[in-house]
């Protein structure tokens, strides 16, 4: 136990040390390192796959086919990791930008400079490609990273991290900047979460139990990517073709992700015209429907929805449907049952659109667009760290800027406080 503590603190201390030089590393050096890291992964694809095979052998009996699939490295997934790193290299450097330098009335010039957070801790589950992705995002944003992947992927992660770290160091990145906790001992996570002063931010990537554990244990600030109980509200007078297109996309295009729709709200005036039409299409796509009483007047084969359904993130081909008495009732429903992730209105009414945007307090609020569009790429943020469900620092789709902070930069000419 003490050994694990020492081991984790040692990794974190070396990452902290590396972070100082990394913070001011030239952007060209970082991009060169990212491209070399991509090349190295491809060059070492056979080694990666054979190490990965050890992980697969060890857990074949315990994992579901879907989990095994996520764990498995192929030439295609290795090429995907390499492409991801090259895309990060191609993005502008988020570090060092001077924002809003202004001359104050006393002649002092004051602005903000974007700087890295320092050391970022990433705790994630069995997908080994997160190792490359997280290392790339942190390096580009000038942060050292301490990675802790799932135990099922330990051989794969060790191999990926070593290949990346070696390539990065050869390009001039300080040693220790890409650190992996090379043990499956669970105590290591707890030690990371207590390493105040050495790690500046923890980003958990994985299922709810992992995120809950991190939230409850961490003494370090956490940015989490949690529930998405997302709504589409079809307003009175909406274009019902647009509504159908958006609602269908929001539920069916990829139901297992956080920005998929879980509850459809329909103004009572449109229930009769809209519900049979969308109900048919959703059923054809294999969606199980659960409706309130008024919904079931128009969709009699929908199951009755319980109070619990309104709170539920199905992440599956299941949809709760509720008929509501207008905009206020829709906003009220979203405030009460939603998770403040992403909510959309389909409307032709400009005043309703603006009221919805102002009054719905979610990380993304949309007019006439599918909540599935809540995404760093779609928003123009480049590579995405995740979708933050927190309110502080970074909210909603989070690009590399979320891994930076700022410092105030002040130019005086002998200015003093009077």
By the criterion CB under 8 A, which residues form the site for a second copy?
20, 23-24, 96, 102, 104, 106, 108, 110, 113, 115, 117-118, 200-201, 221, 239, 242, 245-246, 249-250, 253-254, 335, 353, 357-359, 361-370, 372-375, 378-380, 390-393, 395-397, 405-417
CB 322 within 8 A of CB 263: yes
Nearer to a second copy, 118 or 149 (CB): 118
Nearer to a second copy, 213 or 367 (CB): 367
Residue 159 half-sphere exposure toward CB, CA atoms < 13 A: 23
Q: Could you tell me the smallest distance in angstroms from the CB atom of residue 258 to a second copy?
A: 13
Residue 245 half-sphere exposure toward CB, CA atoms < 13 A: 8
DSSP state of 187: H
Nearer to a second copy, 1 or 416 (CB): 416
CB 167 within 8 A of CB 136: no
Dump the DSSP string for 133-179: HHHHHHHHTT-EEEEE--GGGHHHHHHHHHHHHHHHHHTTPPTTSEE
CA distances (Å), origin 307, targets 267, 312, 321, 330, 336: 19, 9, 12, 16, 11
Exposed, middle or buried, 307 (CB in 10 Å: 0-12/13-18/19+)?
exposed
Rounded Cα distance, 165 and 359, in Å: 47
Q: Could you tell me the smallest distance in angstroms from the CB atom of residue 113 to a second copy?
A: 7
Q: Could you tell me the smallest distance in angstroms from the CB atom of residue 15 to a second copy?
A: 15
Q: Could you tell me the smallest distance in angstroms from the CB atom of residue 273 to a second copy?
A: 17
Nearer to a second copy, 22 or 265 (CB): 22
Nearer to a second copy, 329 or 367 (CB): 367
Exposed, middle or buried, 392 (CB in 10 Å: 0-12/13-18/19+)?
exposed
Nearer to a second copy, 272 or 391 (CB): 391
Q: Could you tell me the smallest distance in angstroms from the CB atom of residue 416 to a second copy?
A: 4
Nearer to a second copy, 291 or 397 (CB): 397
Q: Could you tell me the smallest distance in angstroms from the CB atom of residue 248 to a second copy?
A: 8
Q: Could you tell me the smallest distance in angstroms from the CB atom of residue 47 to a second copy?
A: 36
Nearer to a second copy, 56 or 394 (CB): 394
Nearer to a second copy, 22 or 180 (CB): 22
3-class DSSP assignment, residue 112? strand
Q: Could you tell me the smallest distance in angstroms from the CB atom of residue 259 to a second copy?
A: 9
Q: Could you tell me the smallest distance in angstroms from the CB atom of residue 157 to a second copy?
A: 27
Closest CA to 340 of 367, 365, 312, 304: 365
Residue 29 half-sphere exposure toward CB, CA atoms < 13 A: 15
Task: Tell me how many degrees the CA angle 179-184-189 measures, rounded to the nearest 5.
Answer: 65
């Amino acid at each position: 136990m003490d050994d694990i503590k020492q081991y984790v603190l040692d990794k974190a201390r070396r990452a902290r040390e590396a972070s100082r030089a990394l913070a001011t590393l030239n952007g060209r050096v970082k991009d060169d390192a990212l491209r070399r890291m991509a090349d190295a992964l491809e060059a070492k694809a056979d080694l990666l796959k054979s190490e990965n095979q050890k992980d697969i052998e060890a857990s074949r009996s315990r994992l579901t086919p879907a989990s095994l699939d996520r764990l498995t490295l192929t030439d295609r997934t290795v090429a995907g990791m390499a492409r991801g790193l090259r895309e990060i290299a191609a993005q502008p450097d988020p570090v060092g930008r001077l924002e809003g330098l202004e001359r104050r009335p006393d002649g002092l010039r004051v602005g903000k400079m974007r700087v890295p957070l320092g050391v970022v801790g990433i705790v994630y589950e069995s997908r080994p490609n997160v190792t490359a992705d997280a290392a790339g995002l942190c390096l580009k944003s000038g942060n050292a990273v301490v990675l802790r992947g799932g135990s099922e992927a330990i051989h794969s992660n060790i191999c990926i991290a070593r290949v990346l770290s070696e390539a990065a160091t050869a390009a001039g990145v300080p040693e220790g900047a890409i650190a992996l906790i090379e043990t499956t001992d669970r105590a290591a996570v707890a030690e990371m979460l207590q390493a105040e002063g050495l790690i500046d931010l923890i980003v958990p990537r994985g299922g709810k139990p992992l995120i809950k554990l991190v939230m409850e244990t961490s003494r370090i600030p956490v940015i989490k990517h949690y529930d998405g109980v997302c709504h589409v509200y079809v307003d009175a007078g909406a274009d019902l073709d647009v509504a159908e297109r958006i609602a269908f996309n929001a539920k069916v295009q990829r139901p297992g992700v956080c920005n998929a729709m879980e509850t459809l709200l329909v103004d009572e005036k449109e229930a009769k015209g809209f519900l049979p039409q969308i109900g048919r299409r959703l059923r054809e796509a294999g969606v199980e429907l659960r409706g309130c009483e008024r919904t079931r007047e128009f969709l009699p084969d929908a199951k009755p929805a319980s109070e619990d359904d309104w709170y539920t993130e199905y992440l599956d081909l299941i949809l709760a449907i509720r008929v509501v008495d207008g905009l206020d009732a829709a906003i009220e429903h979203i405030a009460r049952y939603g998770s403040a992730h992403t909510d959309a209105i389909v409307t032709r009414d400009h005043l309703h659109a603006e009221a919805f945007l102002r009054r719905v307090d979610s990380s993304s609020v949309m007019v006439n667009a599918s909540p599935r569009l809540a995404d760093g790429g779609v928003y123009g943020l480049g590579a995405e760290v995740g979708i933050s469900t927190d309110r502080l620092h970074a909210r909603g789709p989070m690009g590399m800027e979320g891994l930076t902070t700022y410092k105030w930069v002040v130019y005086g000419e002998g200015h003093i406080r009077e």
